[in-house]
């Protein structure tokens, strides 16, 4: 004789806790797989196993719907937090269905720069789409962390989509405004810029204006400029544009030296997907959302809550 309750418990433990398949359990116990299925049902019927149904998180649904309504967005995807790299990985996983659909609906793709875009593109599986080419939206940022530059990200995305990419033969920042104009007017750069302006989907990520700014870390923006821009109420940077909290582009000495697309160029692109993680980017993103440039948003839960607070609303309890 054996205690059937204990036997049911052992079968249920192997299935639900140890994650063994019914076939593996049957092999271990010397019984058939249909018998294992009957034992698992019996374990539920007799209360050895308790099943709890959990409603989808109302907080995520509230934030998604509210941000879509407030800023007239086509889609908002919100992921869990879990540290910098983990959060970006979480965003890449939950964003995948939406991103695949956008890629399938677009013939030409443009990409910006930054670690968030890199992590998400890097985590993409190989996809079959009708995308004809991928083009960088801005020049390269020096030699440090080349994987975060638009050229590298464009090549990586093109590889995942089995298509071609166009190389942006220019740095993102040059010595003076005259040189920037000369590059923008040169034959090879002008051709890439024109194609970048005509993409159907742009994937971008904002930069903040503080000592942690990527432009500051790459050596393109000084501490004095950070202070100057903050006093001028400049809250963020996107590609070659700086803007304030109301989404209005603000001309700076640095933006005049940058080579790539500006805010007014993004306004002409049918779909612009903004990707970002971290509450420190909330004011920057608020400005972009107010500009009306952004059509789709991929962010983390803490940042989503901060955007609601920045709008002047309170989070429901």
Is residue 184 within 8 Å of residue 190, measured between CB atoms? yes
Say how far apart CA 223 and CA 266 lie, in whole Å: 28
Higher pLDDT, 220 or 72: 72
Report whether pLDDT(231) > 80.
yes
Strands 271-275 and 249-250: unpaired
pLDDT surpassing 90 at residue 19: no
Reading the block at residue 167, the tokens are: 């190389």
Q: Determine what percent of the chain is predicted with pLDDT higher than 90.
A: 65
Mean pLDDT of 101-118: 94
Query: Whole-angstrom Cα distance, residue 19 to residue 15?
Result: 5
From the CB of residue 98, how many other CB atoms can be counted at a distance below 10 Å? 16
Q: Which helix (H) or strand (E) holds 177?
A: helix 177-185
* Whole-number pLDDT of residue 295: 97
pTM over 0.85: no
pLDDT in tens, 153-179: 999 999 999 999 999 999 999 999 999
CB hemisphere CA count around 4 (13 angstroms) = 6
Q: Helix or strand or coil: residue 240?
A: coil
pLDDT at 51 over 80: no
Number of Cα atoms under 13 Å in the Cβ half of residue 315: 17
Q: Is residue 125 packed enough to be buried (19+ CB in 10 Å), middle (13-18) or exposed (0-12)? A: exposed
**pLDDT of 199 strictly over 60:** yes
Q: Is 72 helix (H, G, I), strand (E, B) or coil?
A: coil
Residue 20's pLDDT band (boundaries 50, 70, 90)?
confident
pLDDT digits (tens, 9 = 90+) for 243-283: 999 999 999 999 999 999 999 999 999 999 999 999 999 99
The predicted structure's pLDDT at residue 1: 37
Confidence label for 4 from pLDDT (cuts 50, 70 and 90): confident
- Kindly provide the b/e burial profile for residues 102-115, where b requires at least 16 CB atoms within 10 angstroms of the residue's own CB: bbeebebbbbbbbb
> Distance between CA atoms of 6 and 95, rounded to whole angstroms?
43
| Spatial separation of the C-alpha atoms in residues 275 and 298, rounded to whole Å | 5
pLDDT of residue 52: 58
Q: Is 53 a residue whose pLDDT tops 60?
A: no
* Rounded Cα–Cα distance for residues 260 and 112 (Å): 10
Stretch 124-145: mean pLDDT, rounded? 87
Residue 144 has pLDDT above 80, yes or no: no
Q: How confident is the model at residue 128 (pLDDT cuts 50, 70, 90)?
A: confident
Lowest mean pLDDT among 119-128, 232-241, 247-256: 119-128
């Amino acid at each position: 004789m054996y205690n059937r309750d204990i036997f049911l418990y052992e079968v249920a433990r192997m299935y639900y806790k140890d994650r063994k398949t019914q076939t593996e359990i049957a092999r271990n116990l010397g019984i058939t797989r249909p018998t294992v299925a009957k034992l698992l049902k019996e374990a539920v019927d007799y209360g050895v196993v308790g099943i709890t149904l959990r409603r989808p998180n109302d907080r995520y649904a509230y934030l998604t719907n509210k941000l879509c309504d407030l800023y007239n967005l086509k889609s908002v995807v919100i992921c869990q937090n879990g540290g910098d790299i983990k959060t970006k990985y979480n965003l890449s996983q939950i964003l995948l269905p939406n991103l695949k659909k956008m890629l399938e609906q677009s013939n030409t793709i443009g990409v910006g720069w930054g670690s968030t875009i890199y992590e998400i593109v890097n985590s993409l599986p190989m996809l079959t789409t009708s995308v004809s080419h991928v083009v960088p939206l801005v020049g390269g940022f020096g030699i440090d962390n080349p994987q975060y530059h638009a050229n590298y990200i464009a090549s990586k995305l093109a590889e995942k989509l089995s298509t071609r990419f166009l190389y942006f033969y220019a740095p993102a920042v040059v010595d003076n405004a005259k040189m920037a104009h000369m590059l923008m007017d040169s034959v090879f750069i002008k051709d890439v810029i024109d194609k970048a302006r005509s993409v159907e989907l742009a994937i971008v990520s904002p930069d903040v204006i503080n000592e942690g700014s990527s432009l500051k870390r790459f050596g393109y923006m000084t501490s004095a400029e950070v202070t100057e821009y903050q006093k001028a109420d400049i809250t963020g940077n996107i590609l070659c544009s700086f803007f304030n909290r109301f989404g209005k582009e603000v001309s700076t000495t640095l933006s005049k030296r940058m080579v790539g697309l500006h805010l007014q160029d993004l306004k002409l692109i049918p779909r612009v997907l903004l990707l970002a993680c971290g509450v420190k980017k909330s004011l920057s993103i608020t400005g972009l959302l107010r500009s009306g440039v952004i059509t789709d948003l991929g962010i983390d839960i803490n940042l989503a809550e901060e955007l609601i607070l920045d709008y002047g609303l309170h989070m429901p309890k």
